[in-house]
Chain A
């Protein structure tokens, strides 16, 4: 039923806003990327431009989208223009799409800027071919926390990708106060390996990792010995990027990812309403159990202290519309001897 007594909120003194950053640790084990579900959690598309990874067989309604994988190279790459190239136009398109969205254009002719394994964007250290890992919004939330990204890749043979040879790529030098650069695609940091050599980029707000091909030795003859590796059943990384399909190269990448972990960030904007309950208000109740034969149950004589118990705070519009409700975890005693300020936080 309708409430009888309202208390006004002064927008200057009773309402304030705050921002809270919430971090969650996201560990992605390699077995999710390859193995656990016999690739039942890997979705390929007829267009063949990227591959999606789920945390459960994707035909199940319980499956959550984790990330997408694709590969590409720029027109200026040495890989471009090969006669044996498979899906070359799509690989060019993919590279350009990531580059133009994350880096934008440069020069008087508005050429798409290419990825560089440094923070300068000065045209040196280009990564003209790369793997792209797009994490879903579900796990990155508002952004990847700077300095928290870590990825272990196997650099060994196809048969023993993680044997004694792994590389750990981290953005440990990045933080909220430095070690990053910002572009039209948001802030990005560098992924360094154990020798402090930049091997990739991580775009924090976009939730995209750009993994340069130099992460693996060019001499690694069986980077890709999967089903897409052609009649020789062994491709170097460069051969795989040129001659294997996008999904085939993505399969090879998944085969070599041991672990990915990072912290995501959720930005919670809150409005805090200070509901100030004066000593002389809300000391009675219209609750039907409050009286028995018209006498207030909590009193024996008129001079006894009137008492009520707060369990709910309703926040209303000027038209008496109930817009939000806050519940206390336990009843709160209110009587004329106390004043209470209830701090109600609404998160957006």
Chain B
């Protein structure tokens, strides 16, 4: 896709998307609202220390070349602009995966044979058995089990990931709650060729460090249930979306606690909400392993053969827009 000529006046190059053309064809084309995006912008180019003053801070940003319009729906606006009413917001929440060792019943990404990749066993029982071998992933918190409603799950947290602001209850209220920066749910996007559904926490799920008195030890309680399917404008081919609920992230900083809040939470400052994720893998993925993955690989160098598919799950807060991508490996034991 070429860049637009930006040597003259500001112009708008508008095109119908594939979905727009489809709607035009079936007679249901009707535009009712708009949204704004800034996908090309790299805000790290904003130079607040430019010697010539504030007028020059965004010089590089304003010179960013802008792509012509893409017609694939998913390539439209990936990161929308936000209409937050407060003008004095300095911090915005992030969404992070919590892999703190102090927690139990959460899934960690193993450090070998891969890093930053979460594993999920397919539906066959011998896959779980073999992944638990010491020569493989060894422990049950290194991989998800398909449709595992009791966990372990991927724990996600939102909040201000900065050590500048203490993660106490007062700051949570002033920085997050009062600015409506706490997510009540998340959208999860997954490849429906490999994953049937995702699981989210049921009502009554809890994550805090206040339930155990002054020790500050974490409490994580959840049961996973099938999430509700939703329709959004996120339309990567073969991706489906569902909504999982978010619970109040009750981890706070209290200097009297013997366990530091930062050893419990992945967020350094005030926390907003949390959710726990699991997935239901499509049964009988053998043909998909051949088409989209790798077949009969000695993944753990233990002479046992596995087939796997690497896919990506996208999670986005429905209020804050904070988002994270989770690389996921669906793995199946074959032989050995």
Contact = CB atoms under 8 A, between A and B. Distances in A.
Interface string B1-28: 0001110111111111101100100001
Given A310-B38, A314-B37, A323-B31, A285 B82 contact: yes
A327 B4 contact: yes
Interface stretch (A6-14, A51-59, A129-137, A154-162): A6-14
A9 B32 contact: yes
B85 interface: yes
Contact of B81 (A15, A280, A308, A336): A308
Interface string A45-78: 0000000000000000000000000000000000
Given A286-B80, A325-B77, A327-B4, 18 more contacts: A1-B316, A1-B323, A4-B321, A5-B80, A284-B83, A285-B82, A289-B44, A294-B92, A295-B90, A306-B84, A308-B38, A311-B37, A311-B41, A312-B38, A317-B30, A317-B32, A334-B36, A336-B87
Interface in A281-336: 281-334, 336
Say which size band chain B's interface belongs to: 35 or more
Given A3-B233, A287-B41, A327-B66, A313 B36 contact: yes
Contact of A330 (B31, B62, B70, B90): B62
Q: Which 3 A-B pairs have the closest CB atoms?
A: A286-B321, A323-B20, A312-B37
Given A290-B92, A295-B164, A323-B31, A329 B11 contact: yes
A314 B36 contact: yes
Nearest to B1: A327
28 contacts: A8-B33, A282-B82, A286-B323, A287-B39, A292-B44, A294-B91, A295-B91, A309-B61, A311-B37, A311-B38, A311-B64, A313-B37, A314-B76, A316-B33, A316-B34, A318-B33, A321-B19, A323-B17, A325-B71, A325-B77, A326-B69, A327-B67, A331-B40, A331-B64, A334-B81, A344-B14, A346-B16, A347-B14
The secondary-structure label for the interface of chain B is: loop
A3 B31 contact: no
Most A CB atoms within 10 A — which of B33, B66, B319? B33
A333 B89 contact: no
B135 to A, nearest CB: 38
A330 B66 CA distance: 6
Interface string A252-289: 00000000000000000000010101001111111111
A305 B86 CA distance: 11
A270 B155 CA distance: 49
Contacts of A293: 161-162, 164
Interface residues of A, number: 76
A337 B179 CA distance: 20
A296 B92 contact: yes
Contacts of B292: none
Interface of A: 1-9, 11, 15, 273, 275, 277, 280-334, 336, 342-347
A345 B31 contact: no
Contact of A273 (B31, B35, B269): B31
A31 to B, nearest CB: 34
B81 A316 contact: no
A322 to B, nearest CB: 5
A266 B76 CA distance: 29
Contacts of B63: 330
A15 to B, nearest CB: 8
Nearest to B11: A329
Nearest to A319: B231
A328 B3 CA distance: 11
